[in-house]
Amino acid sequence: MKIQKIIARVLLSFVLISIGFALGRETARRSMKPDKTTSAVTKETAQGDKVVVYYLYGPIRCVTCNKIEATAKEVVETTFTKELAEGRLEWKTGSFL
């Protein structure tokens, strides 16, 4: 009987701590201001004269995230060299939070 109470309290503590972390993360996410350059539609994109390729990332960036960004940028730069040079394509990065 005593073991069951201990296990119940440990599990309850785990759940409460998890909820606390989730609320803290959500509060931090909501307090961050969005990057205006990534959320604003430019005149060129509204008219269809330019395509903007956005790479958006969160507040925490791991090694894999950085590698994905580098690979995506490399693909855009090698595949669309002409469009980038002509200004018809643009590469932008920024945080989505």
The model carries a pTM of 0.48
Mean pLDDT, rounded, for 10-17: 89
- Is the predicted pLDDT of residue 9 greater than 50, yes or no? yes
Residue-wise pLDDT for 25-56, tens only, equals: 888 777 776 655 544 444 544 555 788 999 88
pLDDT of residue 71: 92
pLDDT of residue 38: 46
Per DSSP, helices labelled H in the chain are 2-31, 36-39, 43-47, 63-79, 81-86
